[in-house]
Amino acid sequence: MVQMNRAIFLDRDGTIIEEKNYLSDVNQISLLENSVKGLKILQDSFLLIIVSNQSGVARGYFTEKEVNKVNEALLNMLEKQGVHISSVYYCPHYENGVVEKYSINCNCRKPKTGLIDKACLDFAIDLNKSYVIGDKDSDIQLAQNAGCRSILIKNSNYLNKIFPNHIAKDLYDAAKYIMEKE
């Protein structure tokens, strides 16, 4: 029998790093307070996987190369602080974008489950024992669509239209909650 992994699926912007409007400059990456502290707690028991909508590619604001540079810089920043992210999955699509190649209705744009589906294929993940942590309704809906538990990082992006399993003030608060439950 295959050993199934537990995962924490993390939104990037507004959850791990400060929300910047369509971040494409590595020099603008700023870790949110307590995000490293929370990730360190979680990484001993879960795979840490980033799942992020990056519609700025389809909107023509930046390229996939720039998304990859930002993600690489973030991973290096976290590694230097002792945090290992297993993988990063992102969706460059947006149905009403201006870059034709990316202007599609895909299955990977959150809250659809394509990013999590790919991670499950790559890492044999048990979704019933996994969490999605994010700061937007689409992250909470993603968790529900995928069959994961959900934690909302409370900020101004949350519209109170869909209800998470738990609301946390930051990643450290979310990590403490998860570890109390496990």
Active site residues: 11, 13
* Residue 20, Cβ density class (10 Å: 0-12 exposed, 13-18 middle, ≥19 buried): middle
φ, ψ (nearest 5 deg) of residue 13: -80, 125
Determine how β-strand 7-10 pairs with β-strand 47-53: parallel
Structure tokens at 175: 């990590």
- In 3-state terms, what secondary structure has residue 149? strand
Answer yes or no: are the C-beta atoms of 155 and 135 closer than 8 Å.
Answer: yes
